Structure 1
């Protein structure tokens, strides 16, 4: 009688892989949690091809960081500074551990509600923002309004990932620069222009 197969899925940690830059090929453990949806390798590769002229030396914000895949990729590719904001305390602990294992000293992690954090006084404005919130929570509009209160350089680039059929309400001076779809996901890059009179 054949022995039942062991369910080893629980014991194998999920990982993300950094696909470019100084840590290219590094695999990092991430937690499994509801709503945690790391941006896939193919989408990240497309995104960072778009961002290639802008990433080195940039100040980046990974607002709903989750696994931190987007901010870690930016740090690997020469961003001057990366700020992460994440609500899930286990994800925060894992992200801090991963940053430590990479000896990444130009990144900080804020533990708490990203939109609430944006209601505090902004630091120096950011050049690149990754806006990929949990899809079920519909946070694109409140986050974009809060980001517009001093968090963005005039020509900042904002990456947005959302369900393909999601109707986005964004400030008028967020001009779509690039857009693609992958399965049920739509993703794009927006450039901030001067405020409308």
Structure 2
């Protein structure tokens, strides 16, 4: 695994091999990441990366958030409560020398603390088929982590329906990975 493009292009990220099934880690393959970022930066969504605050839920190695940082995001918050994931994220932050722009929260992505600043771009890559993605999005929304109009990039084993408070934009398939693109509704909901 490596950073595909941007200011840190070519930096090799900490190796995990084919993943860590026990820790539910399965890094997004370089080719999938490259296709995904090409789609995001292809103009249809403006430039969701430049200057963004990125929230990387179920971050694993942190590769998605760190790729966004390399491509112009202002800062990244990674969230993963796994011991192995925490070690890999710390190693990757050190390799890229971006500790001043990345915060790692070691907590359950479905039980987030209150945000200090909402994110405009959210990567959501939960363990497949466990129903955790919707719960993590609900927690992030309730705790103020997702700005109105934020772009959500949700990886799963199947396309995902848009939860309440989000509008569907697109779905894409990369082998066994389905990516659902959502936007947080601009209309504030009183509840």
Q: Report the TM-score, using the length of structure 2 for normalisation.
A: 0.85
**1:185 equivalenced with 2:170 (yes/no):** no
Map Cα deviations across residues 18-39 of structure 1 (whole Å, 9 max, x no partner). 1111111221123342121111
Larger radius of gyration: 1
List alignment gaps of at least 5 residues for structure 1: 1-15
2:6 to 15, 21, 35: 21
Q: Structure 2: any 5+ residue segments left out of the alignment?
A: 42-46
- What corresponds to 1:33 in structure 2? 20
1:196: Cα distance to partner?
Answer: 6.9
Quick check: 1:106 aligned with 2:98? no
Whether 2:124 is the aligned partner of 1:135: answer no
1:47 maps to 36
Report if the CA contact (8 A) 2:110-2:136 is conserved.
yes
Detail structure 1 runs of 4+ shifted over 4 Å in the superposition: none
Q: Is the 8 A contact 1:172 1:196 kept in 2?
A: no
Report whether the alignment pairs 1:147 with 2:140.
yes
Distance in 2 (alpha carbons) for counterparts of 1:38 and 1:65:
9
Q: Is the 8 A contact 1:20 1:73 kept in 2?
A: yes
CA distance in 2, matches of 1:173, 1:115: 17
Say if 1:180 and 1:188, in contact at 8 Å, map to a contact too: yes
Q: Shift of the alpha carbon at 1:157? A: 0.3
Q: Deviations over 1:12-59 (max 9, x none)?
A: xxxx11111111122112334212111122221222123321201000
**Partner-residue secondary structure (3-state), 1:108:** strand
3-state secondary structure, aligned to 1:22: coil
Contact 1:144 1:170 in 2 (8 A): no
> 1:158-169 counterparts in 2 under 5 A?
158-164=152-158, 168-169=160-161
From the two aligned structures, give the one with the greater strand fraction.
Answer: 1
Contact 1:75 1:81 in 2 (8 A): yes
Q: How many residues align?
A: 178
